[in-house]
Structure 1
């Protein structure tokens, strides 16, 4: 095969990949084309991870998962992801439920106020419990039951993980254990941030969860207890170079 024939074959392969995606999903984001052209191995691995993370049904019910997706995208100011709006509708999501979800998202984003109150101002308001106040108000916002309590909690967990608000994430995790949430659903909700935010925020969320498990304040399942029991989890610790004379 000549160089020109090989180039034309490659171009045809790229067109075929993108046309298949377009036919199956109704749209193609441009990064898929870039990977198909220049990074075909990455494109193949990306498709496997994409399906495992965002398409295949795992622990959360479909509507709950799409609620968590919308909360993450709104909290990250991320307009890319309108297919999750369509999926929310397809799963039966209503404007009423969306409004309730966005209230929960906004409240979670405002948790920084309660975090602030743990600092230098704490002596000025000794009777104020920031964690309790935050959780009580989150519950009050959903007093009418517009969202299932579990869905509201999962959405807030994901918002805190996505935004790196680790104090609030720990508060929500501990409360979720108290409410009897399934750990696997909690993990799935947090894992969704990998797509719009990247792996590093997910790493920090996992570190926060691990610290809570080791604190003894919650009672994890045997599998999660086994995770907490493994030593040596954490970033590589580098030795400081010796100072010169």
Structure 2
């Protein structure tokens, strides 16, 4: 490797570190093997995470932490620093832990409703889920919209469609702007996987077409637009 190439490699990695405030092993791996891919990846990450879009910085970091705790991303400690810089503290982190823990057991509500309904007289999965969630969050420092978006993002990352739909509804009911909700769900693409984000978009689109939420004009256009089911009509089965 020529000295100039070595210098360029070091310079490019230092540029990434300066932009993000840290450097991870895969940055160097991509730089030496696929620099164009690293450049595209870095641009995508900058737009998704570093650039101000629709969410406030505090809301964005709350949602990020809910996702990261759920997916076990221990390396992402820079988001704790970003939470602090956005005006958050350990009380916000504690609430994110509570939401992640809550979401991990949510499927049990659906289980009882779906399998034991003949043996119960007044068990309703969504109603009971909401009552207990409200009790958990009654003294929370989080805004209701942030709670709804964080849980929607968690259920996107974990591919739990039943509860994702509930919190898309909840986000609308809480006055969350659609572009804010879209940003919240998009944060799952790296830690939760793009396929789960695709499924979440399909669920939201179907909810709009079924009039389960009152969507804006541009979101209705998206939902009603032609075939969006992928090769072999895969998404029609979701």
Q: TM tier, shorter chain? A: over 0.9
Any unmatched runs of 5+ in structure 2?
234-238
1:219 and 2:214 correspond: yes
1:59-91, Cα deviation, whole Å (9 max, x unpaired): 111011001111100000110211001101111
Q: Which of these residues, 122, 125, 137, is aligned with residue 120 of structure 2?
A: 125
SS of 1:117's equivalent in the other structure is helix
Shift of 1:118: 3.3
Kindly indicate whether residue 41 of structure 2 is the aligned counterpart of residue 71 of structure 1: no
Q: In structure 2, what is the equivalent of residue 82 of structure 1?
A: 77
Post-superposition Cα deviations, 1:10-31, rounded to whole Å, max 9, x if no partner, equal 2221111112223343321011
Q: Partner of 2:161 in structure 1?
A: 166
The match for 1:241 is none
Tell me the number of residue pairs that the alignment of Structure 1 and Structure 2 aligns.
Answer: 233
1:206 has 2:201 as partner: yes
Distance 1:22 1:38 in 2: 18
Query: Matched residues in 2 for 1:201 and 1:16: separation?
Result: 35
Contact 2:59/2:146 (CA < 8 Å) preserved in 1?
yes
2:100 to 90, 96, 105: 105
Equivalent in 144, 147, 150 of residue 149 of structure 1: 144
In structure 1, C-alpha distance between the alignment counterparts of 2:41 and 2:112, rounded to whole Å: 42
Question: How many angstroms apart in 2 are the aligned matches of 1:123 and 1:185?
Answer: 40
Compare 26-35 and 170-179 and name the one that shifted more. 170-179
Q: Secondary structure at the match of 2:190?
A: helix
Pick the structure with greater CA Rg: 1
Q: CA deviation at 1:133?
A: 1.6
Alignment counterpart, residue 230 of structure 2, candidates 226, 235, 243: 235
Task: Report the CA distance shift for 1:180/1:27 in structure 2 as closer, same or farther (over 3 A).
Answer: closer
Quote the RMSD (CA, aligned, Å).
1.6
Contact 2:16 2:23 in 1 (8 A): yes
Residue 11 in structure 1 maps to residue 6 in structure 2: yes
Structure 1 residue runs without a partner (length 5+) = 239-245
Contact persistence 1:115–1:168 (CA under 8 A)? no
Cα gap change, 1:72 to 1:199, in 2 (>3 Å)? same
Is residue 2:129 matched to residue 1:134? yes
> Structure 2 length normalisation: TM-score?
0.92
